[in-house]
Amino acid sequence: MKGKMRVYYDDEGDYLEIRIGEPTENYGEDMNDDITIFKDEKTDEVVGVGILNFKKRANLNNLEVDLPIDISFISRVI
């Protein structure tokens, strides 16, 4: 994943969505009832995750959440 990370939270719906990179055509794959992984339609690369009932899953004091995927962050010096 490359690019800016965008975080959206809907307090009323208790839904958190995190997207990385420029918006592309994508589709969602339900991991379970509350978690959806979003993948780029052309590359199948994970471009985001959506978490329903976020407050039930998160420790908001330290903002720690177990995600159902591994995310690698690579630093490049240009």
pLDDT digits (tens, 9 = 90+) for 21-40: 888 899 999 988 899 999 99
Q: Write down the pLDDT at residue 65.
A: 57
Beta strands across the sheet bearing 26-30: 5-10, 15-20, 46-52, 35-40, 26-30
**pLDDT at 75 exceeding the cut of 50:** no
Provide the domain count of the chain. 1
Q: What is the CA radius of gyration of the chain?
A: 13
Domain that holds residue 27: 1-78
- The mean of the pLDDT values for the chain is 81
